[in-house]
Amino acid sequence: MTKLSVNINKIATLRNSRGGDNPNLVKVALDCEKFGAQGITVHPRPDERHIRYQDVYDLKSVIATEFNIEGNCKEHKFVDLVLANKPAQVTLVPDAEGQITSNHGWDTIKHADYLKEIVAVFQQEGIRVSIFVDPVVDMVAAAADTGTDRIELYTEAFAHNYFADRGKSIVAYVAAAHKANALGLGINAGHDLDLHNLKYFAQSIPGLLEVSIGHALISDALYLGLEQTIGRYLEQL
């Protein structure tokens, strides 16, 4: 079964909107685990507009499932944060400063030398590394050359085109997945996956190990409740 990692950034956004500690991020993470999530994902950014750096320390001390920290590894503070907490996985995302949300994968060809170096830094500390990539076979192949353990397929294009032509929308992802499998890379995926498109995506991608879902899942929880929402996402997998 593909694992579900719940991204709790939006919980932190809600908390920060009023200050204080309501909702409590640690309690939500523990509840997600209790309700069946097999991982917790956070994506701290330099301005700490949602996840704060202290949140990472607080979460690392209590999370029993896999902890995944996403972010821009060209930020020295991010690298130091990951090395200090040693999560199960770090996902390298090429965010620009001030970017609202991730909107593209790494150019693993252009940045090959840098990625090789930073992948080794994390792996030397026993941290599994995943590189955020677009569903492009050449980018997957170049990602493998960096020594990374996994890739995370950026799924916004699939989600955007799903209702217009789901068969066409999945083609590039299937090709990328076959390439990753052939090269021995683990496959994660995330961005705009939801209760409408997740099952089809998971059934179509060979070797899909993990999906990271935040915005859609937290939005659904406003109507369904967190426990029922997580249950429904797990059913899709």
53: buried, middle or exposed (CB in 10 Å: 19+, 13-18, 0-12)?
middle
Strand 3-7 with 39-42, pairing: parallel
φ, ψ for residue 10 (rounded to 5)? -70, -25
Domain boundaries, the chain: 3-236
194 close to 225: Cβ distance less than 8 angstroms: no
Digitized pLDDT (tens) for each residue of the chain, 237 residues in all: 899 999 999 999 999 999 999 999 999 999 999 999 999 999 999 889 999 999 999 999 999 999 999 999 988 999 999 999 999 999 999 975 554 455 578 999 999 999 999 999 999 999 999 999 999 999 999 999 999 999 999 999 999 999 999 999 999 999 999 999 999 999 999 999 999 999 999 999 999 999 999 999 999 999 999 999 999 999 999
Query: Does the global pTM surpass 0.75?
Result: yes
Catalytically active residues, by annotation: 43, 70, 191
CA 62 to chain centre: 20
CATH number of the structural domain 3-236: 3.20.20.70
